[in-house]
Amino acid sequence: MTQEKSLTEKVTEWLSSQGYPLEMKVASRLRNSGFWVQHSVHYADPETLKSREIDVICTQDEPIGMAKIHFVVECKSTKKPWVMFTSEYTLDNYSRLLALAITSDKARGALVNYLQDLNTSLSWFSKKGRIGYSLTQAFTDGLDTPYEAVLGAVKASLSLYNDNENCKSFVSPFFFAFPVVITSSPLFECYLDRYGNTKVQEIQEGFLFFDGRIGNFSGTCLRIVTENAIESFNNDVKDTSEGLMKLLQNDIENELN
């Protein structure tokens, strides 16, 4: 006779299915790297103004507040695999600066002077290889969990941007918000090879271009990361934030003078 599960075991299983352990794991890893990390942050939906929740916001601040770099993370725990459709042409004729993150005008203008440095030293900017243009869940039951996760990460990033732009006390001139989705599900890439054959392979992370119509939002790339790639993601967060702060050092000093 199978022994009935205890209430503790049932609660533990339910928590795992809802993604809470994944959220805590991501936050802990980023916090241990020295970032300021917030859990379950509420934001105003840019379309409806209703209060919504994002799982994790990881922030790197310049001491005076002149530059703010946010990594806005939505965590999803599902049993079914995710599939990202990719192409090497996804970002053709689209600005790499806009594809980098949701940024303030001044931040984007400053980075124009460092395009060569960005392309050679910042993988989050260069995005070499195939880029996703659509994301779905395999063996779907009608729920579009990946799209909801992507939309949540983008909207939370836009809300942070709006809060910064509309702040009456102090506006951070160099603002960045990087939307990210981290999933416990296996992630597969689907693409056409040069002979027109459909190829499917498992990947651990990738970039997805999203240009959903949300106010004046013109599109950007999200990082899609599996649970197995959290350590690699954490390293890129550190390299990206430190790299941007270093590049903008003179611009920040000029802004203060």
Lookup: tokens for 66: 């002149």
Residue owning tokens 């509420």: 42
The predicted structure's pLDDT at residue 182: 97
Alpha-helical (H) ranges within 33-144 are: 96-100, 105-111, 115-121, 123-126
Identify the DSSP state of 6: P
The predicted structure's pLDDT at residue 18: 64
The predicted structure's pLDDT at residue 200: 98
Beta strands 102-103 and 198-203 are unpaired
Question: Tens place of pLDDT for every residue, the chain, 257 residues?
Answer: 345 678 887 787 776 666 678 999 999 999 999 999 999 999 999 999 999 999 999 999 998 889 999 999 999 988 899 999 999 999 999 999 999 999 999 999 999 999 999 999 899 999 989 999 999 999 976 678 999 999 999 999 999 999 999 988 889 999 999 999 999 999 999 999 999 999 999 999 999 999 998 988 989 999 999 999 999 999 999 999 999 999 999 999 998 87
Up-side HSE of residue 244: CA atoms within 13 Å toward CB? 30
Q: Do 147 and 85 meet the contact criterion of CB atoms below 8 Å apart?
A: no
Neighbours of 145 (CB within 10 A): 20
